[in-house]
Amino acid sequence: MNSDVVELVRRMLQGDVRALARAVSLVENDAPSARQILSCCFPYSGSAMRVGVTGSPGAGKSTLVDGLARRYRAHQATVGVVAVDPTSPFTGGAILGDRIRMREHDDDPGFYMRSMATRGSLGGLARRSAEVAAVIEASGKQRLLLETVGVGQDEVDIVRLADVTIVVLVPGMGDDVQSIKAGIMEIADIFVVNKSDREGADRVEKEVRSLHSLAAQHESWIPPVVRTVATTGDGIEELEQAVDRFWSWLAEEDRLTARREAQWRDRVMEMISHELLRTIRGHGLSDQALAAIGHQVVRRELDPYQLVPELVEQLTRGEKDGKDRSPGHCG
Amino acid sequence: MNSDVVELVRRMLQGDVRALARAVSLVENDAPSARQILSCCFPYSGSAMRVGVTGSPGAGKSTLVDGLARRYRAHQATVGVVAVDPTSPFTGGAILGDRIRMREHDDDPGFYMRSMATRGSLGGLARRSAEVAAVIEASGKQRLLLETVGVGQDEVDIVRLADVTIVVLVPGMGDDVQSIKAGIMEIADIFVVNKSDREGADRVEKEVRSLHSLAAQHESWIPPVVRTVATTGDGIEELEQAVDRFWSWLAEEDRLTARREAQWRDRVMEMISHELLRTIRGHGLSDQALAAIGHQVVRRELDPYQLVPELVEQLTRGEKDGKDRSPGHCG
């Protein structure tokens, strides 16, 4: 155990914001010490309420998350925010908005926010979001807000880290709302119709409610529809209450535990996958070797469908390599 | 080598559409024979032009893809289409539209279309799209059109299978276009402004062109902006010509080969990751064992950050297990 890591986590647990920021960065960047940090933080995580917020770009999620965070702070609950933008892997555009949003909380030790706009070459954004959230939670935050841009699979994966999932819709999105509805109905615990002072709010609400009767809802909870105008704060109190009601429902019949166990099963598999790749990259599959494979495959000198299972078998058995994997052995 | 597979692929190579459909289904469903099918198809793939089409829901991508397919067929080129909808994992909504779209090609042996709307629990949609595309290509299709709904990371991964990537924008998308632009600028070889008879087409085109000067473009190719009205066919010929021009540019200085080598490097890593997971699931990590892990982790009796690397080390060394991985050993 690296004593620097122990010291860093100790300072973080005592409320040192700079230590928290450092620990989060190390984890976000998959630094060599990341695993130790996560291991040290692990016993201190698991008690926060995790609220995921997703919806189309422009739906007003950031303002909504700010509103919720402000209410929680007003009730003395400490708050962490992880804002994830998988659609902007290169620009880092989210960061600027993030800095502006953080400024007003600059002197509040009970609030911490981190935005993540980049991703690794083989995914892993959901994994790293989960890890960043775990570190922030371990620092003592009682409410964790996970905010994602967009409604693709990445967002679904990220939101699946949450105990409570809020899907934000807005009036006037036309085709877009129609086409995303199917994919997000299944993950919503609570729907928000934001910008509900705009024309069409009734229609959106009606559509969501009509889908309730079609979709198979989880057990006895029917996702409520809360109308908000996040910019004025209208409806944020009602949203907070809806979240609390869902939280109480989760507490019954071990539902929260069951949900978190299912999440951990997925996460453990994802972690194993990541660790296996890291191992194979460390066991001879250098960038150079990989480039040579790409070279041969494109020229049809090497059949990847033969190569890969054999590489994996070697790795898991420690065998040596020397086979002919040129294509055309079929039949 | 399973002789049924050899026979299936032989019939497929001879133009048997039912054999093709069967082979595609086996690969799409990760059937036990999938790897053999892919291995048998591999020598016959690699010569088609792969065109990826992405953009927001409602941008008219299907109509555009149909238009391109029809032009290619008119020039006697055989065509395969893979339509992927990662946003609707449960509904399978894409399938219905697919059937309607396919009907007009029912008697055309030079055309084959498959839509994919589902996904595995740990991603893999990009991998399976690539594999389905490879099988369709091996059946002798000279043009492969890859169409995705949405603009999230899944879509980017899928479109990265393509030699030519077309990003479709439409006027009047407001905030949405603004927020997706950053993420898709990097992958577009050609921009299409579809529904360009609508108000705002000039503005969209101007915005895209203004981004050209900001973004780092690949080498000597500046992505052109083609205006279309897919429903009337306006601009489809210009789009076809733009694709051909990019294809010619790719042929110079081994650019196509370099691009495909880079794609294969990523795919081989993805295949290794998938195969490793499959192996570990077959080596003792049963659903029951995984459930027990989830149970212990939620109760903080087991530290997953200690468990996972050790599980992986066991797998790759064949060691026995018996360690204490309860949390709280930190420091």
pLDDT at B124: 66
pLDDT at A328: 63
pLDDT at A107: 80
Q: Give the C-alpha separation, B127 to B125, whole Å.
A: 5
Share the mean pLDDT of chain A: 82
Q: Give the C-alpha separation, B232 to B238, whole Å.
A: 14
Least confident span in A22-36, A188-202, B85-99, B176-190: B85-99
Highest mean pLDDT out of A225-234, B126-135, B194-203, B218-227: A225-234
- Residue in A79, A83, A82 with CA at minimum distance from that of residue A105: A79
Share of chain A above pLDDT 70, in %: 76
> What are the pLDDT digits (tens) for B142-166?
999 998 865 556 666 777 789 999 9
> What are the pLDDT digits (tens) for B27-62?
988 888 999 999 999 999 999 999 999 887 778 888
User: What's the distance, CA A172 to chain centroid?
Assistant: 27
A295 close contact with B: CB closer than 8 A: yes
Share of chain B above pLDDT 90, in %: 45
Q: Which residues of B touch A175 (CB under 8 A)?
A: 57-58
Longest Cα separation, chain B = 71
Q: Assign A304 to helix, strand or coil.
A: helix
Other CB atoms within 10 Å distance of the CB of residue B199: 8
Q: Give the C-alpha separation, A224 to A205, whole Å.
A: 10
Chain-chain contact of B300 with A179 (C-beta, under 8 angstroms):
no
Type of residue found at A194: N
Q: pLDDT band at residue B331, thresholds of 50, 70 and 90? A: very low
* B150 or A105, higher pLDDT: A105
Residue A157: pLDDT over 90: no
> What are the pLDDT digits (tens) for A169-219?
888 765 444 445 555 667 889 999 999 998 888 888 888 887 766 555 556
Chain-chain contact of B266 with A121 (C-beta, under 8 angstroms):
yes
Search chain A and give the residue with CA nearest B327. Answer: A43
How much is the average pLDDT of B317-324? Answer: 58
Chain-chain contact of B294 with A182 (C-beta, under 8 angstroms):
no
- Residue in A322, A329, A325, A321 with CA at minimum distance from that of residue A296: A325
Residue B95 to chain A, least CA–CA distance (Å) = 13
Q: Which residues of A touch B288 (CB under 8 A)?
A: none
pLDDT at A121: 37
- Residue in B156, A174, B56 with CA at minimum distance from that of residue B64: B56
Strand partners, B300: none
Q: Which residues of A touch B323 (CB under 8 A)?
A: none
Share of chain A above pLDDT 90, in %: 45
Q: Which residue ranges form the domains of chain B, and what is each CATH number?
A: 1-44 (no CATH), 46-252 (3.40.50.300)
Chain-chain contact of A87 with B257 (C-beta, under 8 angstroms):
no
> What are the pLDDT digits (tens) for A233-257?
999 999 999 999 999 999 999 999 9
Chain-chain contact of B46 with A279 (C-beta, under 8 angstroms):
no
B261 close contact with A: CB closer than 8 A: yes
Q: Which of A179, A267, A307 is the closest to B57 by Cβ?
A: A179
pLDDT at B210: 75
- Residue in B186, B200, B80 with CA at minimum distance from that of residue B133: B80
Residue to test with chain B: of A125, A128, A270, A273, most B Cβ within 10 A: A273
> What are the pLDDT digits (tens) for A79-91?
999 988 655 444 4
Residue B328: pLDDT over 70: no
How much is the average pLDDT of B253-259? Answer: 92
Highest mean pLDDT out of A19-23, A57-61, A326-330, B127-131: A19-23
- In degrees and rounded to multiples of 5, residue B143 shows phi and psi of -125, 130
How much is the average pLDDT of B128-140? Answer: 93
Q: What is the 3-state secondary structure (H, E, C) of B22-85?
A: HHHHHHHCCCCCHHHHHHHHHHHCCCCEEEEEEECCCCCHHHHHHHHHHHHHHCCCCEEEEEEC
Residue A122: pLDDT over 60: no
- Is A244 in contact with B276 (CB distance < 8 Å)? no
> What are the pLDDT digits (tens) for A40-70?
999 999 999 999 998 877 788 889 999 999 9
How much is the average pLDDT of A266-293? Answer: 82
pLDDT at A66: 92
Q: Which of B152, B266, B273 is the closest to A150 by Cβ?
A: B152
* B77 or B121, higher pLDDT: B77
Q: Which residues of A touch B42 (CB under 8 A)?
A: 300, 303-305, 327
pLDDT at B139: 96
Residue A21: pLDDT over 50: yes
Q: Degrees (nearest 5) of the Cα angle B43, B44, B47? A: 110
Residue A6: pLDDT over 60: yes
Q: pLDDT band at residue A92, thresholds of 50, 70 and 90? A: very low
Interface of A with B in 117-176 (CB under 8 A): 119, 121-123, 125, 149-156, 173-176
Residues 6+ apart with CB under 8 A from B145: B51, B52, B53, B65, B68, B69, B79, B80, B81, B82
